[in-house]
């Protein structure tokens, strides 16, 4: 197997034991440099926060919380969209020795209320779009010493009043607009740096994944700092890089890779206001973004757009270009992306993405076909793997060491082993590292189920490692299908074959009990792509027979590429998209009934 020294850089580990020490160093050493770029609405120019300003904003938040009576170990809930103030609240909370609880902006009000209650939060920072919810909390028996809207007035809908809650409200000591919060607490002393231990909780991330049961993943300063250092050492950003943040920051993947990694290096990060193609591409072009961190779904959409433009080129030109793409892909797989970067710069420039030096995919499986597509045009894409319980990064491919069908090699100080290996060589992936969580919030029993006595995190993912140490994931342990011949079948492996189907938008593969043999047969729940069906068969997109026959033919074509025991034996159509979590993974537990015979 490859040794760490074969693929991990010599960039030093971060020396700080907590974020208070880190912020002091970066805000001093990079004071005049841009830390955050952001624009909203019709803004032509970016709003820019330097590292000096970022440090000031964070310390103001910290002083405001302490002046309001919060103490070390208290918890602060943050429910808002990505914006510079989100980052300031996150960092300001943790440098005060207080624990930040970022909440998925897409969860329901009831779910957010549950988190506020479960964590016994003492402060609530929220988006202007959640102001009505914040105002309703006293009526629900929630008394918070601090309740602050972090949106600016121009972010609110026309005709609505500014997001400043009335200071006469009796249930709160401090209710201020963000830019006023902590402004009168300048004399508040921040805790000494050495008073915040590396094992003190820094963040609690509630993650339901696809199981439906929300658990609070409690991460320490050490957990997050170690993982961010590991990300930097394997991905190797330089002081010339500019990061792009398009993913919701409440999740550990963008928090570590899009927010904290550039902060650690003292380089800028651009926050996209929304995940809309034109907005993202304009921000990339105008800011000169070089480092893009995203989920596979976004890359699939970008691939479709670039592919559509490429097909419009004259056939006489595409012929030789396709030959060059083959060479570019072969070179990229050998760890030499430079050929494609030079030859296809005009394609990337036309797409508005010629400044991108590396794309990182995580948060879900990246289709190898998508990875090969980008590599063939010199985009230099790498795929990683992680989970919130490990803060999150576990492994990643690198530009020099990559296999697009794999999720890469373990990051620094991360031991990965395969346990309970079956006859097919596949077992559960177990991980031991300084990034493994402290545990689930106030749930010792659940913690013991996933962290064994040797300190290994049992990921619940099934996979194997090859002779060089690359990790390959086959599926989730709880999703495993047992065929009638006793074969282990991983539904995710089958689902990925549908990713580029023209007439299928989404698919969920489940196992249904065979009435005769007692094993499970492969059954697909399909959401048709009605837009493309309408394009190809105008007026027939709502005709059940037409749609059903198209889906049937698609499944038959895919079945021809699959081994016999993996073939889809039946399907049903579903009109509405599946409900998904923040990482755009289907919340499979909701659709258990599809595994039963008959309609759900």
Going by pLDDT thresholds of 50, 70 and 90, the confidence category of residue 479 is confident
Q: Do 262 and 213 touch, CB atoms closer than 8 A? A: no
| pLDDT tops 60 at residue 18 | yes
What's the pLDDT at 171?
40
pLDDT score at 590: 86
Structure confidence at residue 211 as a pLDDT band (50, 70, 90): very low
- Total of domains in the chain: 3
- Is residue 326 domain-shared with residue 436, that is, in the same domain? yes
332 and 446 in a single domain? The answer is: yes
Tokens of 80: 């808002």
Q: Is residue 6 part of a domain?
A: no
Q: For 158, left (φ over 0), alpha (ψ -120 to 50), or beta?
A: beta
In a domain, residue 464? The reply is no
Q: Are residues 363 and 306 in the same domain?
A: yes
Q: Stretch 483-504: mean pLDDT, rounded?
A: 84
Q: In whole numbers, what is the pLDDT of the chain averaged over residues?
A: 91
Burial 481-518 (b: 16+ CB within 10 A, else e): bebeeeebbbbbebbbbbbebebbbbbbbbbbeeeeee
pLDDT of residue 213: 57
Residue 518 is predicted with a pLDDT of 56
In a domain, 220, yes or no: no
Q: Is 413 helix (H, G, I), strand (E, B) or coil?
A: coil
Within this chain, do residues 52 and 118 fall inside the same structural domain, yes or no? yes
- Confidence at 486, pLDDT banded by 50, 70, 90: low
**Residue 327: both structure tokens together:** 């060479």
Q: What is the pLDDT of residue 563?
A: 83
Q: Is residue 600 part of a domain?
A: no
Residue 186 above 80 pLDDT?
yes
Q: Which of 165, 196, 227 is the last residue of a domain?
A: 196
pLDDT in tens, 451-461: 999 999 999 99
Interval 443-452: pLDDT, tens = 999 999 999 9
Same domain, 455 and 540: no
Q: Which of 196, 223, 243 is the last residue of a domain?
A: 196
What are 233's two structure tokens?
A: 């050492």
- Residue 518 and residue 436 in one domain: no
Residue 567 pLDDT class (50, 70, 90 cuts): very high
pTM, two decimal places: 0.84
Query: The domain that contains 361 carries what CATH number?
Result: 3.40.50.12780
Q: For residue 235, give the 3-state DSSP assignment.
A: helix
Please report the DSSP string for 435-495 in residue order: TS-SEETT-HHHHHHHB-TTS-EEEEEEEEE-TT--EEEEEEGGG-EE-TTS-EE-HHHHH
Tell me: pLDDT of 316 over 60.
Answer: yes
Q: Are residues 376 and 500 in the same domain?
A: no
User: Are residues 447 and 527 located together in one domain of the fold?
Assistant: no
CA distance 159 to 563: 60
Task: Report the pLDDT value the prediction gives residue 599, as an integer from 0 to 100.
Answer: 47
CATH number at residue 25: 3.40.50.980
| Least reliable range by pLDDT among 14-18, 86-90, 475-479 | 475-479
Q: Does residue 498 sit in the same domain as residue 578?
A: yes
- CATH classification at residue 509: 3.30.300.30
**pLDDT at residue 376 greater than cutoff 70:** yes
Decide: 127 and 149 in contact? Cβ < 8 Å: yes
- Residue (of 414, 423, 499) closest to 464 by Cα position: 423
pLDDT band, residue 384 (cuts 50/70/90): very high
Same domain? 132 vs 187: yes
Least confident stretch, 373-387, 473-487, 551-565: 473-487
More confident residue, 204 or 478: 204
Burial readout 328-360 (b: 16 or more C-beta within 10 A, e: otherwise):
bbebbeeeebebbbebbeebbeebbbbbbbbbb
What is the pLDDT at residue 176? 47
Average pLDDT for 464-470: 97
In the chain, the percentage of residues whose pLDDT exceeds 90 is 78
For residue 152, the model assigns a pLDDT of 58
**Cα–Cα dist 229/14, whole Å:** 6
In terms of Cα–Cα distance, which of 479, 491, 574 is closest to 209? Answer: 479
Does residue 34 belong to any structural domain of this protein? Answer: yes
User: Could you count the other beta carbons within 10 Å of the beta carbon of residue 160?
Assistant: 10
- Of 149, 170, 196, the one marking the end of a domain is 196
Same domain flag for 450 and 495: no
Which tens digits make up the pLDDT trace of 116-175? 999 999 999 999 999 999 999 999 999 999 999 998 544 444 344 444 443 333 344 434
State which residues form the domain around 131. Answer: 14-196
Positive or negative CA dihedral for 111, 389, 16, 242? negative
Give a yes or no: residue 258 inside a domain.
no
Residue 517 domain-assigned (yes or no) = yes
Tokens describing residue 141: 């028996």
Is the domain of 187 the same as that of 306? no
Q: Is the residue at 90 inside a domain?
A: yes
């Amino acid at each position: 197997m490859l040794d760490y020294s074969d693929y991990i850089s010599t960039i030093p580990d971060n020396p700080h034991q907590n974020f208070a020490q880190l912020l002091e160093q970066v805000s001093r050493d990079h004071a005049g440099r841009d830390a955050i770029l952001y624009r909203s609405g019709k803004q032509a120019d970016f709003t820019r926060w330097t590292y000096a300003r970022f440090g000031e904003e964070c310390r103001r938040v910290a002083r405001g919380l302490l002046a309001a009576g919060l103490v070390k170990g208290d918890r602060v809930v943050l429910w808002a969209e990505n914006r510079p103030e989100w980052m300031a609240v996150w960092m300001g909370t943790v440098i005060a020795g207080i624990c930040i609880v970022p909440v998925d902006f897409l969860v329901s009000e009831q779910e957010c209320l549950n988190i506020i209650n479960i964590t016994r939060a003492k402060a609530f920072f929220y988006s202007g779009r959640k102001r009505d919810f914040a105002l309703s909390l006293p009526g629900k028996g929630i008394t918070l010493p601090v309740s602050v809207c972090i949106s600016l007035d121009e972010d609110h809908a026309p005709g609505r009043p500014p997001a400043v809650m009335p200071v006469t409200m009796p249930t709160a000591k401090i209710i201020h607009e963000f830019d006023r919060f902590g402004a009168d607490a300048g004399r508040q002393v921040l805790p000494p740096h050495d008073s915040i231990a590396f094992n003190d909780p820094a963040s609690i991330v509630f993650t339901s994944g696809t199981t439906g049961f929300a658990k609070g993943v409690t991460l320490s300063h050490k957990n997050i700092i170690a993982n961010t250092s590991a990300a930097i050492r394997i991905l190797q950003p330089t002081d010339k890089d500019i990061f792009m943040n398009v993913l919701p920051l409440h999740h550990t993947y963008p928090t570590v890779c899009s927010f904290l990694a550039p902060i650690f290096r003292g380089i800028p990060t651009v926050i996209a206001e929304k995940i809309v193609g034109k907005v993202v591409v304009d921000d990339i072009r105008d800011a000169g973004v070089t480092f893009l961190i995203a989920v596979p779904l976004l890359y699939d959409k970008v691939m479709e757009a670039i592919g559509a433009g490429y097909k419009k080129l004259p056939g006489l030109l595409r012929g030789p270009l396709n030959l060059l793409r083959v060479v570019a892909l072969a070179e990229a797989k050998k760890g030499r992306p430079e050929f494609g970067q030079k030859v296809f710069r005009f394609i990337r420039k036309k797409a508005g993405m010629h400044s991108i030096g590396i794309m990182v995919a995580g948060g879900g499986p990246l289709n190898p076909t998508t990875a090969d597509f980008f590599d063939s045009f010199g985009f230099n894409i790498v795929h990683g793997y992680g989970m919130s319980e490990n803060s999150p990064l576990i492994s990643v491919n690198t530009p020099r060491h990559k296999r697009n069908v794999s999720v890469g090699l373990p990051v620094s100080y991360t031991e990965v082993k395969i346990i309970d290996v079956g006859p097919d060589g596949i077992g559960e992936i177990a991980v031991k590292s300084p990034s493994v969580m402290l545990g689930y919030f106030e749930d010792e029993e659940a913690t013991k189920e996933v962290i064994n006595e040797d300190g290994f995190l049992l990921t619940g993912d099934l996979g194997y490692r090859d002779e060089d140490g690359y990790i390959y994931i086959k599926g989730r342990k709880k999703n495993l299908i047992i065929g009638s011949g006793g074969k282990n079948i991983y539904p995710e492996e089958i689902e990925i074959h549908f990713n580029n189907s023209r007439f299928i938008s989404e698919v969920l593969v489940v196992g249904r009990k065979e009435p005769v043999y007692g094993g499970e047969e492969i059954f697909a729940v399909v959401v048709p792509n009605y837009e493309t069906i309408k394009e190809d068969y105008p007026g027939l997109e709502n005709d059940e027979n037409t749609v059903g026959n198209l889906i049937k033919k698609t499944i038959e074509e895919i079945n021809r590429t699959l081994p016999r025991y993996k073939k889809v034996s039946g399907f049903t159509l579903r009109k509405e998209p599946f409900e998904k979590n923040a990482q755009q993974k289907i919340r499979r537990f909701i659709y258990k009934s599809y595994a039963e015979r008959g309609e759900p």
